[in-house]
Structure formats: structure tokens, C-alpha cells
Amino acid sequence: MRIGIAGIAGRMGRLLAEEVAAAGLTLAGGTIRPGSAKAPPAGIPLLPDAGALFAESDVVIDFTHAEEAAPHAALAAASGKGFVLGSSGLNAAQERAVAEAAQRVPVVYAANFAPGVNLVLALAERMAAALPGTQYDAEIVEMHHRQKVDAPSGTAVAMGRAVARGRGTTLEEAGIESGRDGHTGPRASGAIGFAALRGGQVVGEHTLLFAAATEHIALTHRSFDRRAYATGAVRAALWLRGRAPGLYGMKDVLGM
């Protein structure tokens, strides 16, 4: 199985290359951002563009940037290759483009590829189903390194969506309370709150808090090493072998 890596000179790209080798797979090559001063790992084929990467690979793993998601998904569909997408911060149009590509090829798209996070998301949905929004306010607090450009994080949004599903609604219908500042008035009942912290080199911390008048329940996940994301992404790439076209998530990969 030949794996291609978009953005192979970045932190995640290098970890992905190591995990591909550890899994005994063939690394078809990688791409780097045009004009980037970063060099790819030694001995790894550097391909001129994403089109060449998809042509040389059976599955491409992409943790680059939200802006690359739609064009890379289109290349996956055109080339008939599997696609593992871990970029966060996609807007509605970019997510639609990924879903359209998944009608032609198998795609695994996840906010977070760490197995532990996906177990937490499943627990969040079950807890929300048991804790009504009229009595338990749901608040999500996340912290990441100072270089992260999107907020709230993709994992935090996934937590909010899990809570909304558990309560039989959507995140948009439930209402979002984010970035409170000044005289905001009382908290809306049933809304889902978000707070994003940025600083230092925190890999990722997420806490879902259910707050009632009589008790508080907190569900927390902390990431200490990005390798967990790389390991999960390579596992997803292996899982795609022989899959029918479709838009899959890590719940599918993990058999949850």
C-alpha cells in the first residue's frame, strides 16, 4: 500500500512519515508548500505538486490547511484514490466539497484521529442524552499552542456536535455561546458554550463540562504528543483498503 503525505516537511508530516514506516507501508512521497524553507525528511521522494502525489499514491493523508481540503478532495475523486483528511477549521463549502468527493472515493475525515478523543466524543453524546439541556449547561473549554490559527478547535466543535446529537438536535439549532465579553446577559438555556485558550506549546486539551445547580460533571482529554494523531491517521489509511466510496469518520475506523 502506497501512502502519500501532503505537507511532509511539517511537524505532522514528519510524524506521519515515521508512522507509515513503522506500519511497514510504502511511502510514495510527499509535497511541501511552494516557497517553504522547510526540507522534507532525508530519503523521501519530494513530488512537485498534489496532482503528482495522488498519482503516485493509493491513499493520501492531509493535515495541511483548510484551504487545501477542497482541491485535494477533488484530486482524490479525479484520481480514484483514498483520502485521509485531518485539517481543521473547514467552512461549510469546504466540507461540502469533501462530501462530494466521497461520493466517488472513500474518505476518512475527522476532527481528531487520536483513539482516546473519539472515545470521549462517544461518551459526550451518551452523557448529553442523559443530562437535559434545561438542567445541565454544556460548556467546552479547549487550549492549544500559540501557533494554532482556528478557534474553537475542530475537536471542540466535534464535542459540541456530539452534545447536540445526544440531545436530538444540531449545534446550530441548539445555539452557540462563544467569546463572551462585556455585558452579555444571562446564558441561554440549552445553548452550548465554547472557550478557546491559546499559549505556549500545548498539543491539545479539551474539557466538556455539564454544569447544573446541584452538580458539575467534567470530561477531559489531554494530548501530550502529536504522534497519537499520526498513528490514528495511518490506521485510517490502512482501513480504507478496499472500502466503497463514502464519507467515513474515526468511529468507523475504530468499529464504534
CATH number of the domain enclosing 194: 3.30.360.10
> How far apart are alpha carbons 211 and 141 in whole angstroms?
13
User: Residue 256: its pLDDT value, please?
Assistant: 82
pTM score, whole prediction:
0.84
pLDDT, mean of residues 85-113: 95
E-state strands within 97-244: 106-109, 137-144, 176-178, 192-198, 204-211, 216-223
Question: Does the annotation count 148 as an active-site position?
Answer: yes
Catalytic residue among 144, 145, 183, 206: 144
Catalytic residue among 148, 206, 216, 221: 148
Provide the 8-state DSSP code for 255. T
- When pLDDT is cut at 50, 70 and 90, the band that residue 156 belongs to is very high
The reply to whether 71 and 128 lie within a common domain is no
The reply to whether 138 and 108 lie within a common domain is no
The reply to whether 123 and 193 lie within a common domain is yes
CA distances from 174 to 16, 79, 192, 208 (A): 37, 39, 7, 16
Question: Does the annotation count 72 as an active-site position?
Answer: no
Domain containing residue 237: CATH number: 3.40.50.720
The reply to whether 216 and 236 lie within a common domain is no
Lowest model confidence (mean pLDDT) among 86-90, 159-163, 233-237: 86-90
The reply to whether 204 and 241 lie within a common domain is no
> How far apart are alpha carbons 161 and 53 in whole angstroms?
33
pLDDT, mean of residues 27-39: 86
The reply to whether 92 and 132 lie within a common domain is no
The reply to whether 11 and 68 lie within a common domain is yes
The reply to whether 135 and 202 lie within a common domain is yes
pLDDT of 132 above 90: yes
- When pLDDT is cut at 50, 70 and 90, the band that residue 41 belongs to is confident
- Residue 163, classed as helix, strand or coil, is helix
The reply to whether 109 and 138 lie within a common domain is no
> How far apart are alpha carbons 210 and 216 in whole angstroms?
6
The reply to whether 212 and 233 lie within a common domain is no
- Residue 81: which domain range? 2-113+226-254
Residue 155 forms beta bridges with which residues?
Answer: none
**Amino acid identity, residue 116?**
G
CA distances from 160 to 35, 131, 134, 194, 254 (A): 37, 14, 16, 8, 21
Number of domains in the chain: 2
pLDDT of 37 above 80: no
3-state SS of 34-100 is CCCCCCCCCCCCECCCHHHHHHHCCEEEECCCHHHHHHHHHHHHHHCCEEEECCCCCCHHHHHHHHH
- Each residue of 164-211: pLDDT tens digit? 999 999 999 999 999 888 999 999 999 999 999 999 999 999 999 999
What is the percentage of the chain residues whose pLDDT exceeds 70?
A: 100
> How far apart are alpha carbons 221 and 238 in whole angstroms?
25
The reply to whether 122 and 212 lie within a common domain is yes
User: Residue 34: its pLDDT value, please?
Assistant: 79
pLDDT, mean of residues 137-144: 98
User: Residue 35: its pLDDT value, please?
Assistant: 75
The reply to whether 22 and 144 lie within a common domain is no
User: Residue 211: its pLDDT value, please?
Assistant: 98
125's grid cell: 453524546
User: Residue 58: its pLDDT value, please?
Assistant: 98
